[in-house]
Structure 1
Amino acid sequence: MIDLSSYGLEESIGLHVILSNVMWWISLILVIIAFRNRRIWNIGDAPWTFLFLAFFFFGIRELGHLSKEPLIGSIRYIFGIWSAIFMTTALFFIFLILCHGRRITGVIIYIPYALALIFPVIWSYLYISDPGNLKSAMGAIENITWIIGSLVTIYTAYMLGTRTTGDFVKVFMFFQFSAYLALTWKFLGLIETQGFTVSYSIREIIETLFGLFAIISMYILTRMLRKLSKQLHGTYDNKS
Structure 2
Amino acid sequence: MISLARYGLEESVGLHVILSIFFWWLSVILIVIAYRYRSLWNVGDTPWTFLFLTFICFAIRELGHLNGLPLIGSIRYVFGSWSAIFMASAFIFLYLRICQRKKDSMVMIYTPFIFVVLFPVIMLYLYLSGTNISSLKTIMGNIEGIVWMAASSLVIYTTYMLGTRATGGFVQVFMFFQFSAFAAFTWKLLGFIEGLGSPIPYSIRELVETLFGLFAIVSMYLLIRMLRKLSRHIHSE
Q: TM-score, normalised by structure 2?
A: 0.93
Q: Distance in 2 between matches of 1:189 and 1:11?
A: 17
Provide, for residues 166-209 of structure 1, a one-character-per-residue CA deviation record: whole Å limited to 9, x for no partner.
11000000011111111000011122222222221110100000
Q: Distance in 2 between matches of 1:76 and 1:46?
A: 25
| Alignment pair present for 1:147 and 2:152 | no
Kept after mapping to 2: 8 A contact 1:93/1:104: yes
**Alignment match, 1:51:** 51
**Alignment match, 1:203:** 205
**Alignment match, 1:193:** 195
Kept after mapping to 2: 8 A contact 1:179/1:210: yes
Q: Distance in 2 between matches of 1:169 and 1:87?
A: 18
Q: TM-score, normalised by structure 1?
A: 0.92
User: How far off is 1:11 after superposition?
Assistant: 5.5
User: How far off is 1:128 after superposition?
Assistant: 2.0
Deviates more, 1:189-198 or 1:41-50: 189-198
Provide, for residues 58-94 of structure 1, a one-character-per-residue CA deviation record: whole Å limited to 9, x for no partner.
0000000111111101100000000000001001100
Q: How does 1:1-240 map to 2 (within 5 A)?
A: 12-129=12-129, 130-132=131-133, 133-235=135-237
Q: Distance in 1 between matches of 2:89 and 2:19?
A: 26
Q: Distance in 2 between matches of 1:75 and 1:196?
A: 27
Task: Please state whether the residue corresponding to 1:121 is helix, strand or coil.
Answer: helix
Q: Distance in 1 between matches of 2:163 and 2:27?
A: 21
**Alignment match, 1:4:** none
Give 4+ residue runs of structure 1 displaced > 4 Å after superposition.
Answer: none
Q: Distance in 1 between matches of 2:11 and 2:101?
A: 44
The letter of the residue matching 1:55 is F
- The number of equivalent residue pairs is 226
| RMSD of Structure 2 on Structure 1 (CA) | 1.1
Structure 1: gaps (5+ residues):
1-9, 236-240
Kept after mapping to 2: 8 A contact 1:171/1:218: yes
Q: Distance in 2 between matches of 1:188 and 1:207?
A: 11
Q: Distance in 1 between matches of 2:11 and 2:25?
A: 20
1:11 and 1:215, CA in 2 relative to 1: closer, same or farther beyond 3 A? farther
